[in-house]
Copies of this chain bind each other. A is one copy, B any other.
Amino acid sequence: MERVPILKLGDILIISIQIDLDDQSVLSLQEDLAERVVATGARGVVIDITAVEIIDSFIGRMLATIAAMCRLLDADTVVVGMRPAVAITLVELGLSLGGVRTALDLEKGVAALGHLRGRDTTR
Protein backbone atom coordinates (compact mmCIF):
# COMPACT_ATOMS: atom_id res chain seq x y z
CA MET A 1 0.00 0.00 0.00
CA GLU A 2 1.30 3.40 -0.94
CA ARG A 3 1.49 6.12 1.66
CA VAL A 4 1.48 9.81 0.91
CA PRO A 5 4.71 11.35 2.24
CA ILE A 6 4.35 14.22 4.70
CA LEU A 7 7.11 16.83 4.40
CA LYS A 8 7.97 19.22 7.21
CA LEU A 9 9.35 22.71 6.78
CA GLY A 10 9.53 24.88 9.86
CA ASP A 11 6.18 24.48 11.59
CA ILE A 12 4.36 23.65 8.38
CA LEU A 13 3.60 20.19 7.03
CA ILE A 14 3.35 19.82 3.26
CA ILE A 15 1.44 17.05 1.52
CA SER A 16 1.42 16.61 -2.25
CA ILE A 17 -1.33 14.29 -3.42
CA GLN A 18 -0.28 12.44 -6.55
CA ILE A 19 -1.77 8.98 -6.22
CA ASP A 20 -5.34 7.87 -6.56
CA LEU A 21 -6.65 7.69 -3.02
CA ASP A 22 -8.82 4.81 -1.96
CA ASP A 23 -10.54 4.34 1.40
CA GLN A 24 -7.53 2.70 3.01
CA SER A 25 -4.93 5.22 1.82
CA VAL A 26 -7.15 8.12 2.92
CA LEU A 27 -7.43 6.58 6.39
CA SER A 28 -3.64 6.06 6.51
CA LEU A 29 -3.04 9.64 5.40
CA GLN A 30 -5.39 11.02 8.06
CA GLU A 31 -3.76 8.91 10.79
CA ASP A 32 -0.21 9.72 9.65
CA LEU A 33 -1.02 13.40 9.42
CA ALA A 34 -2.67 13.58 12.86
CA GLU A 35 0.36 11.84 14.39
CA ARG A 36 2.81 14.15 12.61
CA VAL A 37 0.90 17.28 13.63
CA VAL A 38 1.05 16.19 17.27
CA ALA A 39 4.66 14.92 17.10
CA THR A 40 6.01 18.04 15.41
CA GLY A 41 3.70 20.64 16.92
CA ALA A 42 3.01 21.90 13.39
CA ARG A 43 0.85 25.01 13.19
CA GLY A 44 -0.14 24.65 9.55
CA VAL A 45 -0.80 22.01 6.91
CA VAL A 46 -0.62 22.66 3.17
CA ILE A 47 -2.24 20.09 0.88
CA ASP A 48 -1.17 20.39 -2.74
CA ILE A 49 -3.62 18.98 -5.28
CA THR A 50 -1.87 20.17 -8.45
CA ALA A 51 -1.72 16.58 -9.69
CA VAL A 52 -5.39 15.89 -8.97
CA GLU A 53 -7.27 16.03 -12.27
CA ILE A 54 -10.57 14.60 -11.17
CA ILE A 55 -12.20 15.28 -7.87
CA ASP A 56 -15.30 13.70 -6.41
CA SER A 57 -17.30 13.89 -3.21
CA PHE A 58 -14.95 11.33 -1.65
CA ILE A 59 -11.88 13.54 -2.04
CA GLY A 60 -13.92 16.61 -1.11
CA ARG A 61 -15.00 14.96 2.12
CA MET A 62 -11.43 13.89 2.85
CA LEU A 63 -10.19 17.47 2.55
CA ALA A 64 -12.93 18.70 4.87
CA THR A 65 -12.20 15.92 7.37
CA ILE A 66 -8.48 16.67 7.39
CA ALA A 67 -9.14 20.38 7.88
CA ALA A 68 -11.51 19.69 10.79
CA MET A 69 -9.08 17.21 12.36
CA CYS A 70 -6.13 19.60 12.10
CA ARG A 71 -8.22 22.41 13.59
CA LEU A 72 -8.81 20.25 16.67
CA LEU A 73 -5.04 19.75 16.87
CA ASP A 74 -4.50 23.52 16.64
CA ALA A 75 -3.20 23.55 13.06
CA ASP A 76 -4.65 25.44 10.09
CA THR A 77 -5.12 23.74 6.73
CA VAL A 78 -4.82 25.29 3.29
CA VAL A 79 -5.52 23.43 0.04
CA VAL A 80 -3.37 24.69 -2.84
CA GLY A 81 -2.91 24.04 -6.56
CA MET A 82 -6.52 23.41 -7.50
CA ARG A 83 -7.01 23.21 -11.27
CA PRO A 84 -9.70 25.40 -12.80
CA ALA A 85 -11.55 22.33 -14.08
CA VAL A 86 -11.54 20.84 -10.58
CA ALA A 87 -13.03 24.03 -9.12
CA ILE A 88 -15.76 23.97 -11.78
CA THR A 89 -16.53 20.30 -11.08
CA LEU A 90 -16.67 20.88 -7.33
CA VAL A 91 -19.20 23.68 -7.65
CA GLU A 92 -21.25 21.70 -10.17
CA LEU A 93 -21.32 18.82 -7.69
CA GLY A 94 -22.52 21.20 -5.02
CA LEU A 95 -19.29 20.71 -3.04
CA SER A 96 -18.04 24.15 -2.13
CA LEU A 97 -15.55 22.82 0.45
CA GLY A 98 -16.97 24.97 3.21
CA GLY A 99 -14.49 25.18 6.06
CA VAL A 100 -11.52 24.42 3.81
CA ARG A 101 -9.27 27.35 3.07
CA THR A 102 -7.67 27.44 -0.38
CA ALA A 103 -4.81 29.32 -2.05
CA LEU A 104 -3.47 29.32 -5.59
CA ASP A 105 -0.07 27.78 -4.93
CA LEU A 106 2.25 26.62 -2.15
CA GLU A 107 3.78 30.05 -1.74
CA LYS A 108 0.40 31.76 -1.30
CA GLY A 109 -0.73 28.92 0.97
CA VAL A 110 2.26 29.40 3.27
CA ALA A 111 1.64 33.15 3.25
CA ALA A 112 -2.02 32.55 4.16
CA LEU A 113 -0.96 30.38 7.09
CA GLY A 114 1.44 33.07 8.27
CA HIS A 115 -1.33 35.63 7.99
CA LEU A 116 -3.69 33.43 10.01
CA ARG A 117 -1.11 33.14 12.74
CA GLY A 118 -0.06 36.73 12.47
CA ARG A 119 3.54 35.76 11.86
CA ASP A 120 5.89 34.03 9.41
CA THR A 121 5.24 30.31 9.71
CA THR A 122 8.20 29.15 7.66
CA ARG A 123 10.44 29.61 10.69
Contacts and interface: CB of A to CB of B under 8 A. Distances in A.
Nearest to A81: B5
Interface stretch (A12-20, A59-67, A70-78, A92-100): A12-20
Interface string A5-28: 101111000101011000000000
Contact of A106 (B7, B51, B105): B7
Interface residues of A, number: 21
Nearest to A52: B5
A24 B37 CA distance: 36
Interface of A: 2-5, 7-10, 14, 16, 18-19, 48, 50-51, 81, 105-107, 110, 122
Given A7-B81, A9-B9, 19 more contacts: A4-B18, A5-B16, A5-B48, A5-B50, A5-B51, A5-B81, A7-B14, A7-B105, A7-B106, A8-B105, A8-B106, A10-B107, A14-B14, A14-B106, A16-B16, A16-B18, A18-B18, A18-B19, A19-B19
